[in-house]
Amino acid sequence: MSKAQHQGEAPVSLFEDLPAVDARQEQAARQARSAAKRQGAARLLQPNRRQIELRASDLESLVGEDHLARLVWGDVERQDLSRLVEAIKARGSNAGRSAIDPRILFALWLYAVLSGVGSGREVARLTREHDAYRWICGGVSVNYHALNDFRSGNEVLMDEVLTANVAALAAAGAISLERVAQDGMRVRAHAGAASFRRAAALEQHLAEAGELVGEVKRRAKDDPGASSRRAQAARQRAAEDREERIRAALEQLPQVQATKRRNGDKAEDARASTTDADARVMKMGDGGFRPAFNVQLATTCQDQVIVGVAVTNVGSDMAQMAPMVEQVIERSGSMPAQWLVDGGFPAHEQIDAVHERTGGKTEVLAPVPEPKAKRGSHGDDVPPPDKHRPKDDDSVPVAQWRSRMAWPDIKEIYKQRAATAECVNALARNRGLQRLPVRGLVKVRAVAMLYALAHNLMRMAKIAPQLIGLGTGASSMAAAAA
């Protein structure tokens, strides 16, 4: 609208273009509203969540025939858990509460890992609310204490189960150990960066923790009230646990100092965590430094089955190859023909150790580092030597490794390393192996074993379904597709 229109013309109504309201329609609408008021309020079906319902259903009907929970249970039923059953004290008519079947706890954790759940409290909640977890429990009540104790305290059992699975697959010819890829991934530890202390601070904290334990014990002794005994006992356990963790950090400090000296750093700068004494600060994939553990996995290239698991608190992979080769030989009973690793593994002494252990039957495939550039006597650049040409101080296995990596067919084979190791690492990450829920090397190793067993279960469903009781029908195909 122009300025002249604003000054000389009358304002235009906003709704002048709308048709006029019909008087009869307006009167009919008023009559309809009046009639609705005379008839009373509208009747609505509103929710009543306090009403008790009785559902006539059985647990067996909660999951389908091709459900993943049935696959997990079928695998657990075939495992030898006799050592856990023999340790149960509730027998016959002896006093005591009946123990939970170890197969239930094992199956719950396997299914939880495959579903990306890593918390014992969360699994315990799901056993009450999720049909698949309820089906696995079969009416047995499970608490998070029993779940966490099973996962943390059965590292040896899980190692035996992994060995049995690998041996069964190898005996059935379902896997090939011709090529095995090894890789390490740093997993965030259950410890904060601020929990790392130097020696002087640890000594001071230990003294304070000892005084706190003594004070809590004195209060518990002087307090006759029975109602506060449980709280007093909880405070005493917490104080003693803190004192023990600080003492463990002091015991780990010499190892950290020795590592500092080897790396050329100051030993007095060594620090240990009061939360998890076994954790070490490592460089992570994003370039940051955080408390972590180094989880090593060895996987067959052809079938992507995990045949070796190790956990260390050393950030470097340099000394991890020979121990893993030894572990895989013990599990499978055979020697891999080729061992594929990245550039962080091939220390010369490790190559020599693998050659000595296998009698030269296992070839190490790893990239040869580029030689450093040098300058001549006149300051000019000297062309670097051929990295694949053996050096004068090389041992026979190291010289063979250098020459081998120059062959075009070996370079083509080496491409399988990333396709194997990185894929398995990514699957573990997607299943929740981002931050460890436990503390200590032994418990962390148990968690890593659990992830390896869950991964191998899905691989067995695809490459050897007969080993876990699957046939060739729709159920097995659905399990393999999962």
As a whole number, mean pLDDT of residues 321-342 equals 93
What is the identity of the amino acid at 78?
Answer: R
> Residue 187's beta-bridge partner residues?
293
225 versus 68: the higher-pLDDT residue is 68
The token duo for 267 is 């030993």
Q: For residues 193 and 190, what is the distance between their CA atoms, to the nearest angstrom? A: 10
Residue 440's Cα: distance from chain center in Å?
A: 14
> Residue 263's beta-bridge partner residues?
none
What is the identity of the amino acid at 452?
Answer: A
Nearest to 337 by CA among 363, 365, 305: 363
Which helix (H) or strand (E) segment holds residue 278: the answer is none
Position 14 scores a pLDDT of 65
User: For residue 44, is pLDDT > 80?
Assistant: no
Cα of first residue to Cα of last residue in the chain, in angstroms, is 67
Query: pLDDT tens digits, residue range 341-374?
Result: 998 888 899 999 999 999 999 999 999 988 877 7
As a whole number, mean pLDDT of residues 331-347 equals 91
As a whole number, mean pLDDT of residues 287-295 equals 93
Query: pLDDT tens digits, residue range 51-78?
Result: 887 777 788 888 888 899 999 999 999 9
Position 408 scores a pLDDT of 93
Position 225 scores a pLDDT of 62
Q: Count other Cβ atoms within 10 Å, centred on residue 42.
A: 6
CA distances from 4 to 7, 12, 83, 301 (A): 5, 14, 99, 84
Nearest to 406 by CA among 429, 387, 431, 427: 387
Query: pLDDT tens digits, residue range 154-209?
Result: 999 999 999 999 998 988 889 999 999 999 999 999 998 888 888 888 888 888 88
Position 227 scores a pLDDT of 52
As a whole number, mean pLDDT of residues 378-401 equals 83
User: For residue 224, is pLDDT > 70?
Assistant: no
Please give the sequence-ordered ranges of beta strands (E in DSSP) within 15-97, or none if there are none: none
Position 134 scores a pLDDT of 93
475 versus 180: the higher-pLDDT residue is 180
Position 260 scores a pLDDT of 79
User: For residue 471, is pLDDT > 60?
Assistant: no
As a whole number, mean pLDDT of residues 383-407 equals 89
Query: pLDDT tens digits, residue range 245-276?
Result: 888 888 888 888 888 788 777 777 788 899 99
User: For residue 2, is pLDDT > 50?
Assistant: no
Position 342 scores a pLDDT of 92
Average pLDDT, the chain: 86
How does 364-388 read in b/e, with b if 16+ C-beta sit within 10 Å? bbbbbeeeeeeeeeeeeeeeeeeee
SS3 24: helix
Position 3 scores a pLDDT of 47
Q: pLDDT tier at 475 (50, 70, 90 boundaries)?
A: very low
Position 222 scores a pLDDT of 72
Query: pLDDT tens digits, residue range 417-457?
Result: 999 999 999 999 999 999 999 999 999 999 999 999 999 99
Position 476 scores a pLDDT of 45
- pTM beyond 0.75, yes or no: yes
Position 477 scores a pLDDT of 44
Percentage with pLDDT > 90 across the chain: 48
Percentage with pLDDT > 70 across the chain: 91
Torsion angles phi and psi, residue 293, rounded to 5: -125, 155
User: For residue 11, is pLDDT > 60?
Assistant: no
